[in-house]
Amino acid sequence: MRVLMTSLAVEAHFNGAVPLAWALRAAGHEVRVASQPALTGTITRAGLTAVPVGTDHVHHDLVRHLGAELTGFYRDIDFTGERGDDYLSLKGANTLLTATFYAQANNDAMVDELVDYARYWQPDLVIWEPFTFAGAVAARASGAAHARLLWGPDLFLRMRQAFRRHMELLPEELHDDTLEEWLTWTLDRFGCDFDEETVVGQWNIDQMPEGIRLPLGRPTVPMRYVPYNGRSVIPDWLREPPRRPRICLTLGITSRDMAYPNLVSLDELFEAVAELDVEIVATLTEAQRAEVARVPDNTRVTDFVPLHALLPSCSAAVHHGGAGTWSTAAVYGVPQLVIADMWDNVYRARRLADLGAGLFLPPDELTVAGLRDGLEQLLTKPSFHEDAQRLREAMVAEPSPAGVVPALEELTRQQRN
């Protein structure tokens, strides 16, 4: 088959697609990865064939420009779906996310060139990152089958289903679905009609295990999460087994380039761990490090270390709840302490706590003593380790990327007939 994979140019969103791209390629399929030019180096570093399309998107600039007003709005959106939000909140989220994120990250030039490329290359299957609706548009315009590759629980779809349920109870004059509106005129450029599959894909490829995956009634191919953390080199120090329990502390890669305000004070994080009898490995950029008044003696600061190499040696991980970090810790059975307040991060943190495999600390409830206490619990209570192992078992029980290739071939064949 020819498989066109696509992701908006945000590294963390792309990384979740790499092992599947390798598996498809290793199975003999032609695989190309399309994104805005900014991601070309990242794609080729993963050993994949890049197709730069359009111009770089300006979502990051928008976040920087609008600052706390926008991030405050994002923070108030209930991505977990557990607050039981009313129609107005769901509509606000749909309107604002389409205006400031979906339509920005899928800029016209990118959509147009992706469609051009798909019409030229004639893929059998387009696999798209769940916010990269350009992939669905390109599939519709070129006649390919298309699937969404989820990197986390499908909160977007749950929120969308709730929004549409509410909206459909209203008189038709009051229907106002901004995402549909944007996709309608976008598809119209290529002579296609809107269809809800453009939003939800023909099927999902879901990397979350049972217990985390949301049952939303869509055709789903479950797939084991295999970490890919970017260009990876093992540092010498990692060969030494830790003499004390090792804790990984990271804020992920996305916050490095984005103008999101700091989730927590790094000084407070360090103060909480300074007196513990542990070894801390903190991944911080130079800029993040410059904010820190004092790095404790038990802490090694490094700009980057591949989490798939580091985490197997760790007894706990402290992080922001991002999809890649969370999943990598989960698949290695490492108990996690997640400090999260935004996007899908909150849901993952809560589910983790529900399953006993870690702790969730909302940043506004965070204290130095609370953080220290949480870490001590993770290290001393065996239940955290045991439940984290159970989560790991659930994850590795799913078929590997190589294992799902036949299912993707079959689904593509069905859609194309």
Partner 1 sequence: MEIRTHSELGRSLLTERGMQWLHAHGGDPYARLLRAEEDDPRALAERIRALGPLYRSGTGAWVTGSRALGAEILGDPRLEPRVPEFGLGAVWGQGVAGPEPVSTDVGEPAGAAVLNPRAGDVERLCRAELGRAGSTFDLVSDVVRPVLVSLVSELLAVPPGRRDTFERWCGAASIALDAVLCPPTLPRALALNGAVEGLRDLLAESAGSDDGTIVAGTRACVVGVEVTTNLIANTMLALLEDPEQWRLLGARPGSAEAAVEETLRYDPPVRLDNRVAREALDLAGRTVTAGDEVVVHIGAANRDAATLRSPDRFDLRRETTGGHLSLLGGTPLGSVAPMARNSAAAVLRVLAACLPGLRRTGPVVRRLRAPVTRGIVRFPVGV
Q: 66 or 353, CB closer to partner 1?
A: 66
* Piece of 93-101, 131-139, 227-235, 298-306 that binds partner 1 (CB under 8 A): 93-101
Give CA–CA dist 175/170, Å, rounded: 7
Give CA–CA dist 6/284, Å, rounded: 29
Query: Residue type at 321?
Result: G
Assigned token pair, 112: 């147009």
The answer to the question of residue 96 lying near partner 1 (CB under 8 A) is yes
Assigned token pair, 96: 């604002």
Least Cα distance to 211 among 19, 390, 32 occurs for: 390
Strands (E), 19-167: 30-35, 50-52, 125-128, 145-150
Among 41, 47, 67, 72, binds partner 1 (CB under 8 A): 72
The answer to the question of residue 92 lying near partner 1 (CB under 8 A) is yes
Least Cα distance to 246 among 293, 309, 290 occurs for: 309
The answer to the question of residue 168 lying near partner 1 (CB under 8 A) is no
Contact by Cβ (8 Å): 94, 114 = no
185-191 contacts, C-beta under 8 A, 24 or more apart: 186/106, 186/108, 186/111, 186/133, 186/137, 187/137, 187/140, 187/141, 189/111, 189/112, 189/115, 190/115, 190/137, 190/140, 190/141, 191/141
* Piece of 9-17, 43-51, 167-175, 206-214 that binds partner 1 (CB under 8 A): 167-175
Among 61, 82, 176, 393, binds partner 1 (CB under 8 A): 176
Report the nearest approach of partner 1 to the CB of residue 134 (Å). Answer: 13
The answer to the question of residue 67 lying near partner 1 (CB under 8 A) is no
Percentages helix, strand, coil for the chain, rounded to the nearest 5?
A: 50, 15, 35
Q: 73 or 121, CB closer to partner 1?
A: 73
Per rule CB under 8 A, count of chain residues that contact partner 1: 27
Among 66, 258, 264, 276, binds partner 1 (CB under 8 A): 66
Give CA–CA dist 79/406, Å, rounded: 33
| H or E element in which residue 158 lies | helix 155-168
Assigned token pair, 313: 């040696």
The answer to the question of residue 173 lying near partner 1 (CB under 8 A) is yes
CA dihedral 117, 120, 122, 125 (to 10 degrees): 0
DSSP assignment, residue 303? S
Among 188, 196, 210, 257, binds partner 1 (CB under 8 A): 188
**x/- track of binding to partner 1 for residues 189-228 (CB under 8 A):** x---------------------------------------
Among 40, 55, 95, 377, binds partner 1 (CB under 8 A): 95
CA 233, distance to chain mean position in Å, is 23
Report the nearest approach of partner 1 to the CB of residue 90 (Å). Answer: 12
Among 91, 164, 289, 308, binds partner 1 (CB under 8 A): 91
* Piece of 5-13, 86-94, 123-131, 238-246 that binds partner 1 (CB under 8 A): 86-94
Report the nearest approach of partner 1 to the CB of residue 186 (Å). Answer: 7
Q: 194 or 228, CB closer to partner 1?
A: 194
Among 121, 182, 190, 304, binds partner 1 (CB under 8 A): 182
Q: For residue 31, which phi and psi values (nearest 5 degrees)?
A: -130, 130
How far are the Cα atoms of 10, 21, 270, 271 from residue 275, in angstroms, in the given order?
37, 44, 9, 8
Among 35, 80, 186, 202, binds partner 1 (CB under 8 A): 186
* Piece of 16-24, 70-78, 139-147, 236-244 that binds partner 1 (CB under 8 A): 70-78
The answer to the question of residue 181 lying near partner 1 (CB under 8 A) is yes
Q: Which residues contact 165 (CB under 8 A, 6 or more apart)?
A: none
The answer to the question of residue 261 lying near partner 1 (CB under 8 A) is no
Q: 174 or 287, CB closer to partner 1?
A: 174
Residue ranges that bind partner 1, judged by CB under 8 A: 66, 69-70, 72-73, 76, 88, 91-92, 95-96, 98-100, 103, 108, 171, 173-174, 176, 178, 181-182, 185-186, 188-189
